[in-house]
Amino acid sequence: MTTSADTTSANTPAPVANARDLALAHYAARGVLEHVLARHGATFQQQVALRAAITSDTPQTPDDLVTQVQGYLKADPAGIRATLDELLAKHLLVADGAHLRPTEAGRELLTAVGAETAPVSARIWGGIPAEDLAAAGRVLALVTERANKELSTLTA
């Protein structure tokens, strides 16, 4: 037997994603990550910069890392340089000539944060059908591309 609630939900169209929904999802997920990072005395921007240094195929100069992080976060270069200085002061990055290299402590931090966030991420993302994730991935890539293009015209 179908109840009126069952009929209503079956006839209710799925919500259409918009910029606000994207922002709310981003900040909810980022809030989870920032909570874990805070337990380790790290910030979101530090984690992004450290991850950029660790995942790079070649050693990065400070300018290289500033460019990468600015591309990811659209943050002020001066603030990113301050973040790199913080990572150096915490011995998570080390200067090696003209390059910045992640230290073992930096690698351990990202490993620990990844281990702590993995079960939470599994609960957040778990059960979402693969086709929905694929569609969301395509949409997010397109939105990112278009927003980056718009931003480049605003800052040119």
pLDDT in tens, 16-66: 889 999 999 999 999 999 999 999 999 999 999 999 999 999 999 999 999
Asked if residue 65 is part of any domain, the answer here is yes
Instruction: Convert the pLDDT of each residue in 133-153 to its tens digit.
Output: 999 999 999 999 999 999 999
Enclosing domain of residue 82: 56-113
The answer as to whether 67 is a domain residue is yes
Confidence of residue 115 (pLDDT cuts 50, 70, 90): very high
Look at residue 7 and tell me if it is in a domain.
no
Q: Is 53 exposed, middle or buried (0-12, 13-18, 19+ CB in 10 A)?
A: buried
Q: Residue 24 is inside which H or E element, if any?
A: helix 19-39
Within a domain: 71: yes
* Domain-located, residue 108: yes
CATH number at residue 89: 1.10.10
Look at residue 9 in the predicted model and tell me its pLDDT: 57
For 74, list phi and psi in degrees, rounded to 5: 60, 35
Number of domains in the chain: 1
Does some domain include residue 31? no
Kindly state whether residue 77 falls inside one of the protein's structural domains. yes
